[in-house]
Amino acid sequence: MSDSPTAPGREAWGWLPEWARPLEHERRGLGSLRLAETTILILLGIFLAVATVNDVVQQTHVNHRLKADLLTWRTVTGHDYVNLATEQDVKTYSTRDTVCGNVTPGAPGERAQVCLMLAGAVVSGMRSISGGYYLPPYKADLRANRYKCFGLAAETDLCALNSPPAGSPPSPPLPLGRP
C-alpha cells in the first residue's frame, strides 16, 4: 500500500499505456501534456460544432420539404384542409413523401382519401407529383386497401384493389408533374 494520496487514482488508469496515463506533475520545461490535451479538446469541440450545424441544416431542409408537400396537395386537390397525413420514406431515406387527405370535408380518414406521392426538389414552394392512389374511408394506408393507382404508384404496383370499394366516390384523375 502506497502512502501517496494519488496512488489510487494512478491505479485507475493502469490499463492505459504509460504515455497516455495522466501525469501527477508536469515535467519541467515541457508543456506537451497541456498542448496535447488542449489540441484534443479543440478538435473534439470542432467535431461537435460541425455535427450540430449539419443536423440543424438537414432538419431545416426536411421541414421546408414537408411544408411544400402540404401546399402541393392543397393546390392540386383544391381543398384547403389542415389535417393531412404526411409520411416520409424512412426505409430508403429518399426525399419521396406521401401526403393523404380526404376527398370531401370530414374528420381525417372518415371519408375516402387521395394520397399523392411527391418527389424532387422544392421549386416555388411546391414539389412534383410522381404518382398517387386512393384509400377508402376508415382504412389504413396499406397496399391491400389502395385503389386507382396512377403514376409511380401504378408502375411499382402499390395498389391491390382494381376498382373502388362500394360506397367510395368516383376518383377524378390528378395531374402528374409540377402543379
Q: What is the pLDDT of residue 12?
A: 75
The three-point CA angle 70-89-101 to 5° equals 35
- Name the one residue in this structure whose C-alpha cell is 501517496: 4
Closest alpha carbon to 65 in 102, 108, 94, 103: 94
- Domain with 43 in it: 31-179
Q: What is the pLDDT of residue 1?
A: 45
Percentage, residues of the chain above pLDDT 70: 78
Mean pLDDT to the nearest integer, 70-90: 84
Judge whether 5 lies within some domain.
no
Judge whether 24 lies within some domain.
no
Judge whether 7 lies within some domain.
no
Judge whether 11 lies within some domain.
no
Judge whether 15 lies within some domain.
no
Which tens digits make up the pLDDT trace of 3-50? 444 455 557 777 878 777 777 766 666 666 667 787 888 899 999 999
Q: How far apart are CA 97 and CA 134, in angstroms?
A: 15
pTM higher than 0.85: no
Q: What is the pLDDT of residue 4?
A: 47
Percentage, residues of the chain above pLDDT 90: 6
Q: Which residue would you say has higher pLDDT here, 82 or 43?
A: 43
Question: What's the grid cell of residue 179?
Answer: 402543379
- Residue 150: CB partners within 8 Å, gap ≥ 6? 131, 132, 133, 173, 174, 176
Q: What is the pLDDT of residue 49?
A: 93
Least confident among 30-34, 76-80, 105-109, 151-155: 30-34
Judge whether 4 lies within some domain.
no
Judge whether 3 lies within some domain.
no
Residues 126 and 119 sit within 8 Å (Cβ to Cβ):
no
The number of domains in the chain is: 1
Query: Greatest CA span in the chain, whole angstroms?
Result: 89
Judge whether 73 lies within some domain.
yes
Q: What is the pLDDT of residue 2?
A: 46
- Residue 69: CB partners within 8 Å, gap ≥ 6? 86, 97, 99, 118, 127
